[in-house]
Amino acid sequence: MPKSLTKLWLRGLKRLVATQLAPPRAPKTRAPAKSVRAKVAKVTKPASAKPKITPKPRVARESRVRPRASAWAAGKWTRSFHSAPPTAGRFVNHLAYALYLPTGASLTDMPLVVMLHGCQQSAEEFAQGTRINLLADRFGFAVLYPEQSKTAHVHRCWHWYEDSANSGGGEAAAVVSLVREVVARHHFDSERIYVAGMSAGAGLAAMLAVKYPSLFAAVGLHSGVVFGDAHSAIGAMDAMRRGSRGDPVGLIDAAVDVADYPGMPAMIVHGELDSVVSKTNAEQLTTEFLRLNRFIDANGAWRSGERREEKQADNVVTDYVKSGRRVIKTCVVRGLGHAWSGGDDTVQFHSSKGPDASAMFWEFFKYQRRVQSAVRDETLV
């Protein structure tokens, strides 16, 4: 082998041996991009620049109503199902419900308020939004929340516009069966049972008041629709938007025999700016209950009683009084849309605007009593 080649070979061999015997080097790694950027920023950032502000995490919106809305307050909240008797087209007639019992009072002879939620609401949401359980604790009454099933209506709407046994009429009968069972079980005062509802719930409450007047001592209707005009979902939407094209007195006279009807104290609350259910419906509902309580005759002419109106900062209240007793009360709330007045505005379809509708309903209800022996029992018909 030539000398020059030998030297080159020996030099390469020494280099290879030295590489094998040397300790392993740590692999070179590239600095993370963040560190490089931070280093560059440290050099180039002027001393007067402000540090970057990290956005605060989003928190749940707090109610503007005090005290903080509570679905079950300090009392006892229970959930259950009621098996109502089957009706035509309803062989299985289960009705979910919630019951609120206040603390510190005997249940015997306690008043009961039945609360019917609107579309897209549950019993819990309606309890929280209306805050009526807080009043139940304060004044000593129980609250019953029938709940529409999603299998009956995907948006939990009551079928208030259809009085057939397999639709709204069946729902009303199931609610009546539930009320009677709960009253008997807890020994509530059968002469002080009240029903109130919001929107679709107000529609079903009106049906209960018209069809079962011997069971309820008074009715409360918030954002309700004129009774008796709609008989289908399309008709219901039309009535909600504009009210009835017909005479409200004629609608009531077609539904019941007013001469045989025992009367029904009613309170009607409606938002002036309601774009879902027109305010015209509140006016027509008032006319219907004036007829049911015989303030007006079949022609709409005034028969007896007096009308008193009071304009306040956020609402207009009208009382219809007969023999010194307030029988009908209406309240139109300024600036209120399709929402429960004076409620918890963190819950859909409830607003802190306007007076507390729950408090107004109870203030109206507490003076009303239905003497059961004075009228026939429609629930057995």
**In this structure, which CATH number among 3.30.460.80, 3.40.50.1820, 3.40.50.2300, 3.40.50.80 belongs to the domain 76-380?**
3.40.50.1820
| pLDDT at residue 151, as a whole number | 87
- What pLDDT does residue 361 have? 98
Give the pLDDT confidence score for residue 89 in this predicted structure. Answer: 59
Residue 136 pLDDT: 96
- Tally Cβ neighbours within 10 Å of residue 5: 9
Mean pLDDT of 317-327: 97
Q: What is the pTM of this model?
A: 0.81
pLDDT on residue 84: 84
Q: Any idea which of 147-151, 230-234, 370-374, 375-379 has the lowest mean pLDDT?
A: 375-379
Taking residue 211's Cβ as centre, other Cβ atoms within 10 Å add up to 18
More confident residue, 165 or 142: 142
Confidence band, pLDDT 50/70/90 cuts, at residue 271: very high
Q: What is the mean pLDDT of residues 113-140?
A: 96
**Is 73 or 282 the better-scoring residue by pLDDT?**
282
Output the CA–CA distances (angstroms, integers) from residue 87 to 92, 167, 171, 175, 253, in the order listed. Answer: 9, 10, 10, 13, 26
Q: What pLDDT does residue 371 have?
A: 83
Least confident of 139-143, 183-187, 192-196, 374-378: 374-378
Instruction: Answer with the residue of higher pLDDT: 36 or 151.
Output: 151
Give the model's confidence band at 217: pLDDT under 50 very low, under 70 low, under 90 confident, else very high.
very high
Mean pLDDT (the chain, rounded): 85
- Residue 111's pLDDT band (boundaries 50, 70, 90)? very high
* pLDDT-wise least confident of 11-15, 20-24, 108-112, 224-228: 20-24
Q: What is the pLDDT of residue 92?
A: 52
Q: When comparing pLDDT for 89 and 95, which is higher?
A: 95
Examine the pLDDT at 13 and tell me if it is beyond 90.
Answer: no
Q: Is the pLDDT of residue 43 over 60?
A: no
Residue 375 scores a pLDDT above 90: no
The more confident residue out of 11 and 176 is: 176
Which range, of 71-85, 258-272, 336-350, averages the lowest pLDDT? 71-85
Please give the Cα distance from 196 to 291 (Å, whole number).
20
